[in-house]
Amino acid sequence: MHAPDGVYVDGTFGRGGHSRALLARLSPKGRLVAIDRDVQAIEAATVGEARVSDPRFSIHHTSFAHLRDTLAEQGVSRIDGLLLDLGVSSPQIDDPQRGFSFRFDGPLDMRMDTTRGESAAEFLARADERHITEVIRDYGEERFALQIAKALVARRESGNPVRTTGELSKLVAGAVKTREAGQDPATRTFQALRIFVNAELEELEQGLNVAMDLLAPGARLVVISFHSLEDRIVKTFIARESKSEIDRRAPFAPEKPHRLKSIARIKPSEGEVRANPRARSAIMRVAERTDVGGDGMTRLNVLLLLVLLVSSVYLVKVAHESRRLYADLDKARTDERLLDSEFERLKSEKQSQATPLRVEKTARDKLAMHTATPAVTQYVTYARAASAAPATPTPGAR
Mean pLDDT over the full length of the chain:
86
For the four alpha carbons of 214, 219, 224 and 230, in that order, the dihedral sign comes to positive
Q: For residues 196 and 118, is the Cβ–Cβ distance under 8 A?
A: no
Residue 272: name the closest of 263, 285, 284 by CA.
284
Q: Does 146 have pLDDT greater than 80?
A: yes
When computed from its CA atoms, the radius of gyration of the chain, rounded to whole angstroms, is: 50
Give the three-class secondary structure for 107: strand
Residue 254: name the closest of 306, 313, 304 by CA.
304
Q: Per-residue pLDDT averaged across 1-25, rounded?
A: 92
pLDDT in tens, 205-263: 999 999 999 999 999 999 999 999 999 999 999 999 988 766 666 655 556 678 899 99
Strand ranges in the chain using DSSP code E only, listed in sequence order = 7-10, 31-36, 57-61, 79-85, 215-225, 260-266, 283-289, 380-382, 393-395
pLDDT greater at residue 194 or residue 299: 194
pLDDT at 355: 65
| Beta pairing partners, 7 | 31
Give the three-class secondary structure for 263: strand
| Beta pairing partners, 224 | 85, 284
**Residue 156 exposure: Cα atoms within 13 Å on the Cβ side:** 19
Residue 149: name the closest of 165, 127, 133 by CA.
133
Q: For residues 110 and 198, is the Cβ–Cβ distance under 8 A?
A: yes
> What's 241's DSSP letter?
H
